[in-house]
Amino acid sequence: MPGLEDLYREIILDHYRSPRNRGELPPPAAHAVGHNPLCGDEIEVYLDVQDGVVHDIKVGGQGCSISQSSASMMSQAVKGKTIDEVRALVHRFKSMMSIEELDDADPSVEVKLGDLEALQGVVKFPVRIKCAVLSWNTLTEALEQAGA
């Protein structure tokens, strides 16, 4: 079995202890809520999209270290990005979680994950993939709501 140090990397614990971009945004910001029905984790994403760019993002909810740190890193990674860049990042992240396919010809291969690379170890703990992906699915829903 892979060791816990593969899962609980320091940067993950740092985001867990001090989550970035916590809070809410008032309407008309888009707002989506995601649940992990298995464990009760909950993520809320508030998204302010202006001129095709994620102008601001806030994250709420509660859950385990993996779901919360993933949400925190996600919020950092998408802020200021264009919708196309965000969609490419979602795709890139989900392929790292081995739930979407990515081949060498896919332009998303080029997308930089930065801190998010730390979540790579989650793949070795398949039951936790859902935790890591929860905020990303919620982000996708918020994007739809924003009409982006």
Partner 1 sequence: MALDVAAIRAEFPILAREIDGHPLVYLDSANTSQKPRAVIDAMVRCMEHSYAPINRSAYRLAAEATDAYEAARTAAKRFVNAPKAHELVFTKNATEALNLVATSWGRANLHRGDVVVLTQMEHHANIVPWHMLATEIGIELRWVPLTPDGQLDLASLPALLDGAKAFSFTAMSNVLGTITPVAELCRAAHDAGAIAIVDGCQYVPHNVTDVQAWDADFLAFSSHKLCGPSGIGVLWGREALLDAMPPFLGGGNMIADVRLDGFTTAELPAKFEAGTPPIIEAVGFGAAIEFLEGIGMTEIRRHEMQVAEYALRTLTERFGDDITIHGPTNVEQRGATFSFAFRGIHPHDLSQVLDQRNVCVRAGHHCAKPLMRILGAAATARASFYLYNDESEVDVLADTLDGASDIFGF
Residues that bind partner 1 (CB under 8 A): 1, 3-4, 7-8, 13, 17, 38-42, 62-67, 125, 128, 131
Using omega within 30 degrees of 0 as the cis cutoff, is the peptide bond preceding 28 cis?
yes
Residue closer to partner 1 (CB basis): 12 or 29: 12
CB 37 to partner 1: min, Å: 9
**Of all helices (H) and strands (E), which one includes residue 72?**
helix 65-78
CB 22 to partner 1: min, Å: 16
Residue closer to partner 1 (CB basis): 68 or 75: 68
Whole-number Cα distances in Å, 81 to 11, 17, 112, 117, 143: 22, 25, 12, 18, 13
Number of residues written out for the chain: 148
Residue closer to partner 1 (CB basis): 40 or 114: 40
CB 42 to partner 1: min, Å: 7
Q: Is the dihedral of CA 89, 93, 94, 98 positive or negative?
A: positive
Q: Which two tokens stand for residue 143?
A: 């994007």
CB 138 to partner 1: min, Å: 15
Residue closer to partner 1 (CB basis): 41 or 115: 41
Cα–Cα dist 35/42, whole Å: 5
